């Protein structure tokens, strides 16, 4: 079994440096995105790309860790113009990824397959980066609380970026009809949840339930894949990822229904401590590491 990419060690070290600032749990989870989650996700996309990677992609890959370092450094300056300025390189780096994603879609068309899922991940990432900039600046668009602005950034770094990538590795290279529908639900469900929060609770609850259902299917497919792996480490990581995703999505469904019926069954702080931790560390981090090890061992389908 080969070693994990060096970017994981470097990014993890930068993320750990946040301990000197002692940010909120939500901020810890957000910072894990640029430093660890995105480098792992991009590494997987690069390994399985069927097209020649151009200069924009290579430049973005080189900029990821320096931009992530500045992103983490911004937390030393609270919510301020300087903090927002330090996060701008991360936004620009994600916009470069979005350009590459647009090129991928141009070649792929609108076929719901792995390429579509990976391109969608890179297209949704700048949305998360943009909300992160707003959070570091202390801005409150549409009168949202600082907490909601921060968590929107978190949502698009994990559900927006990591989920489509992991869903892509759960489907076949030539997906069946129901697998194409699954990709469509994942790709469209993430932005629809965000739109629903801004515009309509009806859109929010429907999108949240559909996305949660799609995630439960992804979790089941990951369990299936885990049983095919020869490595106990990869199997364990993928099972943790699957169970964490299932639990996190059940909590998300309960929260969305509570919001719709105006009953606070789960508060936002409780969701961060439960849904947030399960999603970030259980589902995404364990899932990406498992798929990275699987790819390094040449065990992909």
| pLDDT, tens only, 140-152 | 998 889 999 999 9
Mean pLDDT of 91-95: 97
Residue 254: pLDDT band (50, 70, 90) is confident
Residues 191/147, Cβ–Cβ less than 8 Å = no
List Cβ<8 Å contacts ≥24 apart for 173-177.
173/113, 173/114, 173/301, 174/113, 175/112, 175/113, 175/114
Predicted confidence at residue 156, as pLDDT, reads 94
Please compute, for residue 144, the number of CA atoms within 13 A of its CA located in the half-sphere on the CB side.
Answer: 20
Q: Which of 274, 181, 285 is nearest to 240 (CA)?
A: 285
User: Residue 57 and residue 66: Cα distance in Å, rounded?
Assistant: 15
Mean pLDDT of 8-14: 88
Residue 298: pLDDT band (50, 70, 90) is low
Residue 295: pLDDT band (50, 70, 90) is confident
Q: Return the DSSP state at 297.
A: T
At 43-83, the pLDDT tens digits run 999 877 655 568 899 899 999 999 999 999 999 999 999 99
Mean pLDDT of 27-36: 96
Least confident of 77-91, 124-138, 139-153: 139-153
Q: Which of 131, 118, 129 is nearest to 57 (CA)?
A: 118
Residue 19: pLDDT band (50, 70, 90) is confident
Predicted confidence at residue 49, as pLDDT, reads 67
| Residue 109 CB burial class (10 angstroms; 0-12, 13-18, ≥19) | exposed
- Most distant pair of Cα atoms in the chain: their distance: 51
User: Residue 173 and residue 21: Cα distance in Å, rounded?
Assistant: 44
Residues 165/118, Cβ–Cβ less than 8 Å = yes
299 pLDDT exceeds 60? no
* The two three-digit tokens of residue 175, written as one number: 């997906």
| Range 47-62 burial, b when 16+ CB lie within 10 A, else e | ebeeeeeeeebeebbe
Residues 135/149, Cβ–Cβ less than 8 Å = yes
Q: Which of 36, 79, 20, 29 is nearest to 273 (CA)?
A: 29
Q: Regarding predicted confidence, which is higher, 1 or 297?
A: 297
Residues 131/156, Cβ–Cβ less than 8 Å = yes
297 pLDDT exceeds 50? yes
Q: Around Cβ 75, how many Cβ atoms within 10 Å?
A: 23
Domain segments of the chain as ranges: 7-296
Predicted confidence at residue 262, as pLDDT, reads 79
Q: Which of 131, 100, 130, 132 is nearest to 118 (CA)?
A: 100
**What does pLDDT average to over the chain?**
89
Mean pLDDT of 24-48: 93
At 181-216, the pLDDT tens digits run 999 999 999 888 878 777 777 787 888 888 989 999
For the chain, percent of residues with pLDDT exceeding 90? 61
Q: Regarding predicted confidence, which is higher, 137 or 103?
A: 137
């Amino acid at each position: 079994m080969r070693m994990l990419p060096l970017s994981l060690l470097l990014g993890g070290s930068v993320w750990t440096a946040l301990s000197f600032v002692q940010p909120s749990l939500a901020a810890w989870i957000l910072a894990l995105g640029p430093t660890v989650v995105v480098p792992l996700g991009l590494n997987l996309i690069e390994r399985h790309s069927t097209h020649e990677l151009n200069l924009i992609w290579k430049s973005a890959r080189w900029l990821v860790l320096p931009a992530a370092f500045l992103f983490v450094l911004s937390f030393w300056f609270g919510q301020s113009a300087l903090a927002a300025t330090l996060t701008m390189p991360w936004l620009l780096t994600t916009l470069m990824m979005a350009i590459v994603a647009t090129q991928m879609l141009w070649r792929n068309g609108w076929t719901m397959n792995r390429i579509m899922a990976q391109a969608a991940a890179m297209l949704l990432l700048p949305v998360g980066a943009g909300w992160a900039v707003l959070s570091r600046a202390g801005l409150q668009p549409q009168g949202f609380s600082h907490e909601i602005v921060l968590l929107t950034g978190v949502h698009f770094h994990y559900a927006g970026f990591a989920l489509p990538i992991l869903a892509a590795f759960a489907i076949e290279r030539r997906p069946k009809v129901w697998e194409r529908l699954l990709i469509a639900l994942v790709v469209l469900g993430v932005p629809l949840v965000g739109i629903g929060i801004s515009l309509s609770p009806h859109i929010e609850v429907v999108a949240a339930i559909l996305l949660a259902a799609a995630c439960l299917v992804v979790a089941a497919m990951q369990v299936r894949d885990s049983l095919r792996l020869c490595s106990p480490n990869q199997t364990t990581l993928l099972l943790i990822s699957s169970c964490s995703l299932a639990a996190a999505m059940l909590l998300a469904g309960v929260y969305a229904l509570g919001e719709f019926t105006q009953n606070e069954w789960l508060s936002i702080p409780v969701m961060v401590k439960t849904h947030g931790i399960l999603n970030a560390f259980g589902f995404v981090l364990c899932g990406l590491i498992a798929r990275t090890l699987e790819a390094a061992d040449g065990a992909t389908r």
